[in-house]
Amino acid sequence: MNASDRRQPEIAVILPCYNEEAAIAGTVSAFRAALPGATVYVYDNNSSDRTVQVARAAGAIVRTERMQGKGHVVRRMFADVEADVYVMADGDATYDATAAARMVDEMWTQQLDMVVGARQSEVQAAYRRGHRLGNALLTGMLAKLFGRTFSDILSGYRVFSRRFVKSFPVLSAGFEIETEISVHALELRMPVSEVMTAYGARPEGSISKLSTYRDGWRILMTIATLFRFERPILFFGSIGGVLLLLALILAAPLLVTYAQTGLVPRFPTALLSMGLIILAVLNGFCGLILDTVVRGRREVRRLAYLGLPAPMGRADADPVGGAIA
């Protein structure tokens, strides 16, 4: 067995953060205790309180991302931090840090690219009104559009391999980043899994930055956009099918009249029907052409992903504390 198989992975805990003075010290301390050998990074996103000072005093390496939005912070973290395993969570102390070792162990020993911490909460205050329903609706929609999904696509608690992080082109700007991460893993057929984790209420003084309706709409639009990008035949084919059906409905009475009299009494309706048929055909061809482009782009992304080494775990290895007895 070579030396690389015996090497313990370098683990980085990456925490995007905005105005979390009340929670960040507890979050950093909890992850340092759960993963003693890991390096904890806090990426501050223009906080107006004492988040930076508190995080630094708690023992984290603090860096700043000036572009506002969680997607921008994640892009910066993925680009800057070098590690074998990445543990991403929020800085609001809602995620169970004690589950991190179990998630890292599963990712490393099973050679996975992502482990999602699916949230399980018995505290009603942990979820704001509408968040639980919205999460269920968006998760179901993603399953319908992409064939398979996770039980909690909006979880911000995830463990990544290096090849996931370094091959993921982050395009999102805000809280829709979790949806983009999920779709990226599904589209490239990456080996992934979920681990049920506890989810608690924020500590007193910490306020959620997620807007139920605004960010829910942005996540919905992200799913629609990714559907258009990744499933162009189905997307444009559906539009073409609706246009063709409408054209046939409008043309049916004209065809009956023409068969009976040899005349076309409503010429503008005939022109409209013909125009709709042309648009339907154009949408079909757009879907076919874009599907070829998407296939080529997916192959490039897959090759970039395969160009990075897989997690070098073993079934008898404990990435957090050594060999498993």
Q: Where are the domains of the chain?
A: 3-227, 232-302
How distant is the alpha carbon of residue 218 from its chain centre? 13
pLDDT value at position 204? 65
Side-chain-facing half-sphere of 12: CA atoms under 13 Å:
21
Structure tokens at 152: 């909690």
User: Helix, strand or coil for residue 154?
Assistant: coil
| E strand or H helix that includes residue 303 | helix 267-306
Q: What is the pLDDT of residues 183-235, one digit of tens each?
A: 888 888 899 999 999 887 766 655 665 666 666 677 677 777 777 877 889 88
**Which has more confidence, 254 or 47?**
47
Distance CA 40, CA 29 (A): 9
Structure tokens at 232: 């162009």
Distance CA 107, CA 87 (A): 11
Q: Which CATH architecture has domain 3-227?
A: Alpha-Beta Complex (3.90)
pLDDT value at position 263? 75
Q: What is the pLDDT of residues 273-310, one digit of tens each?
A: 999 999 999 999 999 999 998 888 888 888 888 888 88
Q: What angle do CA 317, 96, 54 make, to 5 degrees?
A: 110
- For 105, counting Cβ atoms within 10 Å of its Cβ (0-12 exposed, 13-18 middle, 19+ buried), the class is buried
Give the pLDDT band of residue 313 (cuts 50, 70, 90). Answer: low
C-alpha torsion sign, points 303, 308, 312, 315: negative
The 8-class DSSP code of residue 203 comes to P
Give the start-end residues of each E strand in 31-75.
39-44, 61-64
Closest to 237 in 3D by CA, of 200, 270, 283: 283
> Quick one: CA torsion of 79, 82, 85, 90, rounded to 10 degrees?
-50
State phi, psi for 267 to the nearest 5 degrees: -65, -40
Model pTM score: 0.77
pLDDT value at position 125? 45
Q: How many helices (H) and strands (E) does the chain have?
A: 11, 9
Structure tokens at 154: 């909006």
Q: What is the pLDDT of residues 16-32, one digit of tens each?
A: 999 999 899 999 999 99
Is the separation of the CB atoms in 8 and 321 below 8 Å? no
pLDDT of 318 > 60? The answer is: yes
Beta bridge partners of 116: 158, 194
Percent of the chain having pLDDT more than 70? 83
Closest to 72 in 3D by CA, of 27, 139, 18, 135: 18
pLDDT of 126 > 70? The answer is: no
Structure tokens at 110: 């099973």
pLDDT value at position 169? 87
Closest to 60 in 3D by CA, of 94, 96, 87: 87
